[in-house]
Amino acid sequence: MNTFGKILVVFVTASSLGFLAFVIAYRNGGPDWQGEMRSADLQQEFVFATEPGEIVKYSSKHRRSETTVADKLPVLAEVVLKSRKRLEEDANKKLQELQPQIERLTANRDLVRKLNPIDDAGVHVRIKNYEKQTQQLVGTLNEIGSQFSVATLETQDLLRLSQERREEAYRLANQLELLRNDQFSAIQQQKVLEDELVRLEENHRRLDRRQKQLKQQLGDVDSY
């Protein structure tokens, strides 16, 4: 708000100087009323209207409030001057409205300036406390970092041991699979041998029976 008040003061001063220049130009050779009417500051605040006829009449209306400043006057200079006067009155009114705020802000600024040394001392104390806490935190972080490094090494050892155990398990699983294959082959071979044994035993029994038959036949021959 303090900055806004300063801007208003500068605006009012500039308007007054412009109006003064306008009066001086009028006394020295007459102003350009058309150019003055089309000036940026007036066009920003007012709407000008021209009513043609035997006698041209000019009007001016405030843009924001839509109130009439000059209504159907035959002299453009009078319309422009009334608009300028309204512009200056509005600026002065706004300045008067803001003046208490400017004074209050100025008092607050002075109070703040008085409190600045006290605040600075408090800020320095807090900065020192923060620095001390920061150093403690840094020490704690370093200690945690060291513990983390040790834990990381232990974790790496466990991971390596786990990998070795995993590889050993894979190797044993492969050996077990090979043994199962060998067992299956042995079982198949055993079945073949058992079948062969059964066949041999059957042959042996046939041979025994044949031998007995031959002995019987030989005995019968000897009896003759």
Q: Three-class SS string for 57-107?
A: EEEEEECCCCCEEEEEECCHHHHHHHHHHHHHHHHHHHHHHHHHHHHHHHH
- With 80 as the cut, is the pLDDT of residue 149 above it? yes
pLDDT at 109: 76
- Of 130 and 10, the one with more pLDDT: 130
Average pLDDT of the chain? 80
Return the structure tokens found at 162.
């786990």
Which pLDDT score is estimated for 158?
A: 87
Calculate the dihedral angle through the C-alpha atoms of 122, 125, 126, 127, rounding to the nearest 10 degrees. Answer: 120
Give the pLDDT score at 28. Answer: 44
Chain segment 114-144, per-residue pLDDT in tens: 767 766 677 778 888 888 888 888 888 888 8
To the question of pTM greater than 0.85 for the whole model, the response is no
Structure tokens, 46:
């007012």
Give the pLDDT band of residue 3 (cuts 50, 70, 90).
low
Number of domains in the chain: 1
Looking at residue 119, its pLDDT comes to 66
Confidence bin at 17 (pLDDT 50/70/90): low
In a domain, 163, yes or no: no
Low-confidence winner among 103-112, 161-170, 210-219 (lowest mean pLDDT): 103-112
Q: Which domain holds residue 11?
A: 2-123
Question: Residues 56-75: what's their mean pLDDT?
Answer: 87
- Asked which of 2-16, 131-145, 186-200 is least confident by mean pLDDT, the reply is 2-16
Within a domain: residue 119?
yes
Domain for residue 212, yes or no? no
pLDDT band at residue 150, thresholds of 50, 70 and 90? confident
**Where is pLDDT greater, at 92 or 18?**
92
